[in-house]
A = this chain, B = another copy of it.
Amino acid sequence: MIIVMSPGATEQHIDGVVKKIKEYGCEANISRGVERTIIGAIGDERAIDQELIDALPGVEQSMHVVKPYKIVAREWHKENTIVDIKGVPLGGNTVQVIAGPCSVETQQQMDDSAKYVKEAGCRLMRGGAFKPRTSPYSFQGKGVEGLEMFRKAADAKGLPIVTELMDVRMLDTFMEWDVDVIQIGTRNMQNFDLLKEVGRVKKPVILKRGMSATISEWLMAAEYIAAAGNHNIIFCERGIRTFETYYRNVLDVTAIPVLKKETHLPVIVDPSHAGGKAWMVPALSRAAVAAGADGLLIEMHPTPCEAWCDADQALTPGELKTLMAELGGIAKILGRDI
């Protein structure tokens, strides 16, 4: 860590900083310039709490030299991690498309969905039994009954299932129903107690980016899961909040190459929630795969106009099939398959 002292810093201020650095087990290196004095902390600077340094009298600014994340960082783990989901590899050469309805509604709807997902060539299925809704008066999901319907429909087609966990008290139930991939939603990216708990199980976790989370905060949220013992983490970019009102969120396509550089873990994209409209999904899906995403999380509904939730963003089974063909072509250009 490098600490820049303000022009008026005294010898006493400098001594205070040096003392603090030593408390963290680091050594201090002092350079006195014409305008400012600069202090370098030598040693394991991850131990130093930056805000405690910034609070010391005479400190103007400071800068970490090493990244704050460790287990998830590519710096310490060069090869791509491939997460195994009941035999389906995510993060390797094959781009995986996870498709299914926004929410579980009926057994029939889930059976139909599973059939269409399979027919389109997808190997994983999504569906929400517990739904985070802005209004307490909106449909909140079918709950445990929904998990049961989902499990049954997916098993019939041999599809591992992906579903969202909102409440830490539901984790045991998720384990009982053998949910294959636990999804942590955008509103819970920094629900640290939830992160710690899913870190204690061995199930793969899809960690969606918080609506206004920085890349660094997102990596640190994953580090919570990893530090608790679970390294089967999949990042999912799903659009960020900006000033634009035409679409729900802005898909941050730049996050894909950046994450692939910073972490060894797989990166997927949810084009359905990003744009919020079904007609935007094909363009966003193609862009994500072209930018290097390892997978997609796409909403598809047997009859979108009758969906109980987010109807506006679901593809029809036919649209999904057409899209899969396009994505296959793009994957091939990049030396991958689908």
Contacts and interface: CB of A to CB of B under 8 A. Distances in A.
Interface string A112-124: 0000000000000
A96 B42 CA distance: 45
A145 interface: no
Interface in A17-38: 29, 31, 33-36, 38
Nearest to A277: B54
Contacts of A139: 49
Secondary structure at chain A's binding surface: helix, strand, loop or mixed?
A: mixed
* Interface size band for A: 35 or more
A190 interface: yes
A34 B258 CA distance: 25
A286 interface: yes
Nearest to A49: B138
B190 A214 contact: no
A283 B257 contact: yes
Given A56-B305, A187-B190, A187-B191, A242 B250 contact: yes
Given A33-B65, A254-B250, A283-B292, A311 B51 contact: yes
A283 B288 CA distance: 9
A244 interface: yes
Nearest to A278: B55
A258 B254 contact: no
A63 interface: yes
Interface in A274-289: 274-275, 278-280, 283-284, 286-289
A166 B332 CA distance: 43
Nearest to A226: B136
A83 to B, nearest CB: 20
25 contacts: A2-B63, A33-B42, A47-B137, A52-B311, A55-B304, A55-B307, A55-B311, A55-B313, A132-B190, A132-B192, A133-B192, A134-B220, A136-B223, A136-B224, A167-B168, A214-B244, A214-B246, A240-B243, A247-B258, A250-B250, A250-B254, A251-B254, A254-B280, A257-B279, A283-B291
